[in-house]
Structures are given as structure tokens and as C-alpha cells.
Amino acid sequence: MRVPVGGPREVAELAAELNRMIETGERRDEDLRRFRAAMDISGDAILLIDRATLRYVDVNQTFCEMLGYTRQEILGKTPMDVFSADRATLERDYDALIADKHSSANVVEGEYRRKDGTQVPVEARRRAVHTEHGWIIVATATDITQRKRAEEYLRQSEERFRRTFEIAGSGVAHIGLDRRFLRVNRRLCEILGYSEAELLALTGRDISHPDDRDVINAQRPRLYSGELSAVRVEKRYMRKDGSSVWVAFTMTVERDSKGQALYEIAIFDDISSRKEAEAALRAAHDELERSNAELEQFAYVASHDLQEPLRMVASYTQLLGRRYADRLEGDAKEFMAFIVDGAARMKQLIEDLLAYSRVGTRGKEFQIVKLDAVVERARINLRAALEDSGGAITHDALPVVEGDELQLTQLLQNLAGNALKFRGEAKPLIHVSCIEREHEFEITVRDNGIGIEAQYFERIFMVFQRLHDKGQYPGTGIGLAICKKVVDRHHGRIWVESTPGQGSAFKFTLPKHRDRLAA
């Protein structure tokens, strides 16, 4: 006879053999003692049930401990009292075991109710054994609390993962090393316009835009070698309906504990609307540049070509005035004066327009410019106006910038000139200061003039926009438009802050170009 080792099959076989031995009178008490010992050292519960009465006829120590009953208490009970199955089910199972000892009822899961009312999940293995007293069901029961707990933990974590995967606002996919989609979420199906089943039969390459097929492939070796932890690219995919979709694609590789690649995890974000907006912006920008250039050219040609006939009008009217002045009557002289005045104003307008159009077409290449020197130059150019008004221009230490010196002089001169022109009762005082920011200088030209109402802060920078008639203050309304154009060309911004009656502060920015300035 083999030594019993506690497994259910061995125990059952032992019981069967014991049965036979007892029947033939071969062995007696000694074997029973061995059988008992084997039962009691088993870590699994072992129990014998009489099929006819359904009573426990013998149980081991482990079973008693598992349920919290004494042996005596158990022996008075039936499986229906402590196991989670009703009599009919148990009887059916037991009869199946009797009919065929390898039947499916051999292994079952269920719960025992302990004496204290708590439950213990078990896996039970059973076999029927025939004895001279009838059929006995031999069973072992293993406590599977730990296994159940681990299974529940795994189930919950898989559920959490599945839900996260499903509700993600981005498309998510697991991609096999053969590039086939292994798992895809609902959002990815929406982005690509395929059903889940359809996607699972495809590779990323199958649905990539023909021009973007190798965008990811180019990076894969560095990702697999571990040089990159993730790859991020923007590329196009072809949707099922034939349209294309722009996607921001991020991919990383999932590896096993030895570092072997298992599959790729990829995130897809639909960026079509951003790409469309970018393209529209680019197109609008190109169109604006083109029409601006055209307009500039037109203004230049028009103002240039208008000068000649205007000169004719002006000079022949003057000639007429000189030669025939004594023959003209009162009204005619006055009309003549209007024509001369109109021609002079038109000349001024044309010259200003020409100057305006030249900011774009005749600009010089940018050089290093000392703004201190620019203010000095503007002061010299405005000497007459300064003397007439008794005004003064002062300035703080000003930076060195990169730009077109002539145009920057024109800018400062126009701003200072306006400050002298639109002066109040007091002597005009103009001060130029500068604040240094991280990427730019902000320059302020402050005056103590008549000021501007807030509603006109933007309008005054437009061509021919003036707030006063020419009788009050001379001008054509082009000076600030030129200032704006110069600042635009230098990639800065210009604006005004002012309180009527208290003066104005015209401010503009000039970007810094550290690297080139240092060189």
C-alpha cells in the first residue's frame, strides 16, 4: 500500500483500497490508524459523507478548524447545514459521482458557513467509494479566500482599465509587434470612421495617408532601442469614407520584466480642426501680404504719377495769376487763390502718401541703431518748431536696437512733431523714456499737450484720420499712420495712452535681438 500524501485522489484511492482490504480481511486497525493520521495532517479539509443519510461520517481536524465546529458537532450535521448547495443539487452531484467517478461534479466551488455565521469560499473535490455499508462520498475542500481576493482585485483593476480605455477622450490602441491593432477604444473608431471589428483586421500602415506612411517608422528603432521613451508625431490617416484626418500621435512600448517589447500603446488625438484653422490663417496671411503689397505699389505709382499733372495745374495757375492779374476781376482773383491753395494741399497729400507707401517699398536693411542718436537727430530736424514753441525734448538713456535708422528717426520725429503741434497753453515738454522687458524694449514719448479722447485711440493711427480741421492744426493725418507702419515693419506694437487736457503718452515696442546685437 502506498503512503497517503493528502491529495484528494490519493485519499479517495486509499479509502477505496482500505475498503477492499477490510472486505477481504487483509488489514485491519493498523491501516485505519494510518488513514486517520493522513487525514489529520492534511492542510485541506477531508470529509466523508454517507450517501444514504447525507450525514458526515468522518471529518479531519482541518475541516473542524475551517468551520469552527468540534468534530462531535460536525458529525451530527449534513452538508446542507453548512455548504452552499441544496439537498437536490447535492444528491444529483453525488449520484453522478457514483455513476461515473470522473464526472463533472468532481470539482465544485462553493462556500461553507462557519459556526460564527461568516463564510469561507472553498474548492471541493469529491469521489464516490463503495463500502459494505453502502456508498460513501469522500471529499476534500481547499480554502480559496486568497485566490478569490486576488481574482476580485484583478477583475476590478481590469474593469478600471477597460472603463478608462473606453471613456478616454482620445483614441487609444494597443498595437501588436506585427503592427496590427490588438485593442481599440470607441473614440478611435470615431476618429478613423471604422468599426472595432474592422480596425482589428487592419494595421496602422494600411490606413495611413500615403504621404505619411513612414513618419512613425522613421522613429521606431529609437523607441525600441530605448533611446526614446515615447514618440510624438503629427500625421494623417485615411478614414473609411476616403477623407483624411490629422492626428497627433503619441506612442510608447510596453515591455515584459526582461525588457522584451510586448506591444505598443498609442494615443490618437484628432487635430483636424486645428490644422484647418492653421491652413486658413496661413492662407489669409498670404492673401493679406499680397494685397498689402499690391496696395502699396498702387499708392506709390498713383501718388508718383499724380505729381506731374498737379505740378502743371499749379504752375500754370500761378503763371495765369502773374500775367493776367490786372485783367482779372475781384471774384476771379479769389477763385484763382482757391485753385493755388487746393493744388498746394493736394501736393502735400500726395507727398505724404508717397512717404507712407515708401515705408514698405523703400525700407533699408536693419542695422544696429542707437536710439539716443535717433532722438538727437529728430531734435535737430525739429529745431525750428522747437524754437517757435519754446519747447524742449529730454530723454533717459536709451537702448541700442536693430532697425532702419532713417525710419526710426521719422517715427520719433513724427511723434515729437505732433507733441509740439498739439500743445496746450504751457510750453511743450517732451520726454522719451524706455522700459526693458524680457524680449522687447517699450519706448514712451510723453507730452503735456491737449491730449486725446479714448474713443479716438485707434482711429488716429489710420491714414488721413484727423481729429481737427486744418484751420485749427495743419496736417494731412498721415503722420501716425507712417509711425504705425514703421513699428509694424520692426515687428513691434504702437498705441497711445492719454487724458484730454493733460497730455499724451505714445508707446511702442521694439523686439530685442540679443544674439545679433552681441555679435
Between 321 and 451, name the residue whose CB sits nearer to ligand ADP. Answer: 451
Q: How far is CA 411 from each of CA 270, 391, 399, 486, 488, rounded to the nearest angstrom?
A: 47, 19, 16, 7, 11
Minimum distance, C-beta of residue 446 to ligand ADP, in the bound complex (Å) = 9
445 closest CA partner among 393, 384, 502, 388: 393
- 515 dihedral zone (left: phi>0; alpha: psi -120 to 50; beta): alpha
With respect to ligand ADP, which residue has the nearer C-beta, 85 or 505?
A: 505
Q: Which of 96, 271, 467, 505 binds ligand ADP (CB under 6 A)?
A: 467
Q: By rule CB under 6 A, what count of residues binds ligand ADP?
A: 20
Three-class SS state of 286: helix
Q: How far is the CB of 404 from ligand ADP (least distance, A)?
A: 19
Minimal distance in Å, beta carbon 439 to ligand ADP? 28
| C-beta closer to ligand ADP: residue 204 or 391 | 391
Strand 503-511: give its sheet, edge to edge: 392-395, 429-436, 440-446, 503-511, 494-499
- Residue 476 interacts with ligand ADP (CB under 6 A): yes or no: yes
- The C-alpha atoms of residue 252 and residue 244 are separated, in whole angstroms, by 24
Helices (H), 193-271: 196-200, 220-224
Q: Which stretch binds ligand ADP (CB under 6 A): 58-66, 297-305, 383-391, 447-455?
A: 447-455
Min dist. Cβ of residue 240 to ligand ADP (A): 59
Q: How far apart are CA 145 and CA 133, in angstroms?
A: 36
Q: For ligand ADP, which is the closer residue by CB, 403 or 449? A: 449
CA distances from 234 to 208, 244, 351 (A): 12, 13, 51
450 lies in the binding site for ligand ADP (CB under 6 A) = yes
Q: Which of 466, 497, 505, 513 binds ligand ADP (CB under 6 A)?
A: 466
Cβ distance to ligand ADP smaller for residue 204 or 477: 477
- DSSP structure string for 253-278: EEE-TTS-EEEEEEEEEE-HHHHHHH
At 4 the three-state DSSP class reads coil
Distance CA 250, CA 223 (A): 11
Which of 389, 404, 487 lies closest to 445, judged by CA?
487
Asked if 371 is part of the footprint of ligand ADP (rule: CB under 6 A), the reply reads no
Please identify which residue in 247, 477, 494, 508 interacts with ligand ADP, judged by CB under 6 A: 477
Q: Based on the shown chain and the rule CB under 6 A, indicate whether residue 452 belongs to the binding site for ligand ADP.
A: yes
Q: Report in angstroms how near the CB of residue 294 gets to ligand ADP at its nearest.
A: 23
In angstroms, give the least distance from the CB of 493 to ligand ADP.
17
CB 451 within 8 A of CB 419: no
**Minimum CB distance to ligand ADP, residue 433 (Å):** 16
Q: Which of 342, 363, 475, 511 binds ligand ADP (CB under 6 A)?
A: 475
CB 114 within 8 A of CB 77: no
The interface region with ligand ADP, picked from 37-45, 128-136, 240-248, 466-474 by CB under 6 A, is 466-474
Site membership for ligand ADP, residue 354 (CB under 6 A): no
> Which span (92-100, 142-150, 226-234, 474-482) binds ligand ADP, by CB under 6 A?
474-482
Taking contact as CB under 6 A, which single stretch among the options 298-306, 339-347, 362-370, 446-454 is the one that binds ligand ADP? 446-454
Q: Measured from the CB atom, is 18 or 430 closer to ligand ADP? A: 430
* Residue closer to ligand ADP, measured from CB, 126 or 395: 395
Provide, rounded to whole angstroms, the least separation between the CB of residue 379 and ligand ADP. Answer: 16
From residue 126, alpha-carbon distances to 112, 140, 513 in Å are 15, 7, 87
Q: Per rule CB under 6 A, is residue 443 in the interface with ligand ADP?
A: no
Q: Which residues, other chains included, contact 320 with Cβ-Cβ below 8 Å and sequence gap of 6+?
A: 336
Instruction: Give the binding range for ligand ADP (CB under 6 A) out of 62-70, 128-136, 162-170, 442-450.
Output: 442-450
Q: Kindly write out the interface string for residues 398-437 of this chain, putting x where it contacts ligand ADP by CB under 6 A and - elsewhere.
A: --------------------xx--x---------------
Nearer Cβ to ligand ADP (324/464):
464
The reply to whether 460 sits near ligand ADP by the rule CB under 6 A is yes
Among positions 62, 140, 303, 504, the unique one binding ligand ADP when judged by CB under 6 A: 504
User: How would you classify the pairing of strands 244-255 and 231-238?
Assistant: antiparallel
What one-character-per-residue DSSP string does 156-194 give? HHHHHHHHHHHH-SSEEEEE-TTSBEEEE-HHHHHHHT-
Q: Exposed (0-12), middle (13-18) or buried (19+): which is 131, by Cβ within 10 Å?
A: middle
The least CB distance from residue 234 to ligand ADP, in Å, is: 45
Q: Is 448 in the site for ligand ADP (CB under 6 A)?
A: no
Does the protein bind ligand ADP through residue 480 (CB under 6 A)? yes
Contact status: 486 vs ligand ADP (CB under 6 A): no
In the complex, the smallest distance separating the C-beta of residue 451 from ligand ADP, rounded to whole angstroms, is: 6
| 229: amino acid identity, one letter | S
Rounded to the nearest angstrom, the gap between the alpha carbon of residue 222 and the centroid of all alpha carbons in its chain is 24
List the one residue out of 81, 85, 56 whose CA is nearest residue 71: 56
Rounded CA separation 54/433 (Å): 105
Contacts of 70 (CB under 8 A, 6+ apart): 64
- Interacting residues toward ligand ADP by CB under 6 A: 418-419, 422, 447, 449-452, 460, 466-468, 475-481, 504
